[in-house]
Homo-oligomer: A and B are copies of this chain.
Amino acid sequence: MTSLHAVPTAADITVSHALIAPLIHRTPVLTCRAINAMTGADLYFKCENFQKIGAFKMRGAANAALRLSPAERARGLATHSSGNHAQAVARAAQELGVPAYIVMPENAPQVKVAGTRSYGAEVIFCASTPEARTAKLAEVVAATGAYFIHPFDDYNVIAGQATAAKELLEDAGSELDILMAPVGGGGLLSGTALTAHYFAPQALVIASEPHAVDDAYRSFHSGKIEHNASTDTIADGLRTPLSQKTFDLIRQHVDEIIRVEETEIIHAMRQVWERMKIIIEPSCAVPLAAVFAQPDTFRGKRVGIILTGGNVDISQLPF
């Protein structure tokens, strides 16, 4: 097995799926009669909130780690993140018995630091700026020889995230008309779009994004990578701009990006909590919010939605 250095093929995604199977859960696909009745659509929810570390990020991190040579892998895995990707890299390293080095800003929430350490990772703090983060990571990589797993600008990560949509297609029980994912850095969305392109070419790929951080929407329409002036959204997983790799794939294989308001995100999140009795983080309510916001696009359609994660501070809820 070797690392991927070009856009993943259908075979690359299939092989990645087999490769990571021992390190991930095959999460369930759930349906909800009440939410179907509200939307007039047949919705199939892929529950990555039940994934290891509580988010789909485990897939990409596992794929990147498993595709290293034994010698490379033994030097360890590194990344900078204070979110789900940090825990995914830490957990992948733990499962493979190699060290993990996670660079985090010194003001990272204590619960994220403790969560990452609980998987045996070494946390290295840096000042809270993008420059300090990049510099500290380079320092760590130079000192340890660890492999840097980027949260999304890496074809191994993209191929790993693509496996969530592949399972959703396999388990939904019938052909889907639409596949949906939220978009932050674009790793999940570009993987989902590739999976649709190869395995469900009949399906539209519709992304969704908070209006407050609509860089992907603007990039999609302007043809160049745009940035956000503010990061003021409850969907904390979706504040990141695209990278070159994810931007190119999204331009090529995504059909539409729908923007939603903060109140719509909170409303959709609440419906999932109350009707489905499952815990999802705000970022993953964004596609359902789009279904509520543009009902005509989805009515009568079979729609697969990836629920990306369930890591939310339950003492700080927006309800």
Interface digits, A289-319 against B, CB 8 Å rule (1 contact, 0 not)?
0000000000000000000001000110101
This protein's copies in its complex: 2
Q: Interface residues of A toward B: which range?
A: 10 to 19
Rounded to whole angstroms, the CA-CA distance of A270 and B314 in the bound complex is 8
Rounded to whole angstroms, the CA-CA distance of A273 and B276 in the bound complex is 13
Q: Does A279 contact B (CB under 8 A)?
A: yes
Nearest residue in B to A33 (C-beta to C-beta)?
Answer: B52
Q: Does A5 contact B (CB under 8 A)?
A: no
Contact of A317 among B54, B278, B280, B314 (CB under 8 A): B314
Q: Which residues of B contact A274 (CB under 8 A)?
A: 314
Q: Does A120 contact B (CB under 8 A)?
A: no
Given the interface pairs A317-B314, A317-B317, the reply to whether A273 lies near B279 with Cβ below 8 Å is yes
Rounded to whole angstroms, the CA-CA distance of A274 and B309 in the bound complex is 12
Q: Does A49 contact B (CB under 8 A)?
A: yes
Interface digits, A254-281 against B, CB 8 Å rule (1 contact, 0 not)?
0000000000000000100110111110
- A-B residue pairs in contact (CB < 8 Å), sample of 9: A28-B28, A49-B277, A50-B276, A50-B277, A54-B277, A273-B279, A273-B314, A277-B279, A278-B278
